[in-house]
Structure 1
Amino acid sequence: MSIRSLKSKLFFIFICFPLISFGRDLPKISEEIVVRYRARPQPESQPEKYVLVHPDGSWAVNVKLNDPTYLLNIRTESADNLIYSREIDSLFKGDFSVLVDRETLLSNGKTDYVILTMSRPAENNPRYERCAPNMGEDRAYLLAISDGKARVVSKKFGGCSREYEVVRGQGFVGYRVTERGENPEILRYMIRGDSLVWERE
C-alpha cells in the first residue's frame, strides 16, 4: 500500500469517526420517562412539546458548564425524540436556570420555533453589568427545530430591558421583541412561507 493511499484512508477515518461516534453517543430516553413528562399538567391552549433534559432523561432545570443537555420531543416515539445541538450547548457558559417556554411554540410546516430562557444571579458572573440594582442576568434565545435538528435563530430575545411576546393576528404570526431605554427599538420576527424574517417596527 502506498503512503499516499494510507494517508487518504486515515484522513477518511479521521473525518468520519466523529460523525459515527456522535450518533452512538446520543443517549436513549426510556418511554417511561417520556410518559412521565406527558402526564404533567398541560394547558389546553399550548401543551408542552419540548423539554430540556440531562443525558439520563431528568429535567434540566439547572445546567452547568460542560454539562451536555438535549431537547426531548415528548410528542413522538422514544426512538427518535432526542435532539442534540452543539450550538445550543455552547450557550451554557456557567450555572443557569433554564426553561423551554412552551407558550412561545409556533409551528410552520416541519419547523417549530420556540424560545429558550436562561437566568442566574448577577454574582455568578463577575463581568456582568447589572441593568438595575439587585437584577440578575437574563437571556432568551429563539430556536428553530426541524428534521431532528435544532439551531439558534436569534440571541437577542432577552437581556437588559428587553422583552419578547408572541403575536398573532392581522396576517402576522411571529414574535415581537421590545428593547426599552434611551433609544427604544422594536423588532418583529415573522413567519412567512417557509422562512422567518425580521424587520424593525
Structure 2
Amino acid sequence: MKTHLKFRIGDTWVCVEDGKGYASEHPDHVTFAVREAKPDGKPGNRVDANLSVPRRELLAIALSMLELADRMTPETTWMNSETVGCIGQPLPLHFGDDHARMTERVTGDRPLNFARNAYAKFERLRARMPILRAAQSVLEHCDDETAAGLYVLIAAADQTGGLPARPVVGFDAADLQLDSDASTH
C-alpha cells in the first residue's frame, strides 16, 4: 500500500492511499484513511477509512480546496511576524517529505490557476473517452508487436507533444473518379 498524501492533525493522520485498479500507478479508486500517530510520529493503525473514493470525488475535493485557496488573501511577511499581526503562531499542518517540494511551486502572492487547469484536463479527457475506449479495445485484442508499436507512438507523443509521423487518411482523386464512373454505368 502506497500513501500518496498524508497530513497530521493533532494525534491523527489523514492519509490518501492506493486503491484498486488494473494498473498500480493508475488506481480506479483511492482510500481516505484516518490513522493514529505512532510514538515516533508516523502514521499507525487505521481508526476509520473510506475504501473507495472515485476520481470524480477526489477532483471535487481538490477543486473545492483550490477554489477556497484562490479566494484567501495572499500571505504577506507581516502575517508570519511574531511582533505584528498575529497573537501566537498558528499550528502548521505537517504534510510529510513532499510538502517542501509542493509549496515551492506555489507562491502566496498570486492567484492559483490549478483549478481551471485541472477542470480543463478533466473536460478534455471526458471528451476523448471514445478514443480511450477504442484504444482499450485494440489493446485487449492486438498482438504484442502492435501493442509495443502503440506504446512507442504514445511515448513519443508524450515526450514531444505530437506524433512522430502524421497518419494520412484520404482518397486519391483518381480512385474517386473511377468509383463515380462505375456507379453511373
Could you state the TM-score of these two structures normalised by the residue count of structure 1? 0.20
Q: Which has the higher strand share?
A: 1
Q: Which has the higher helix share?
A: 2
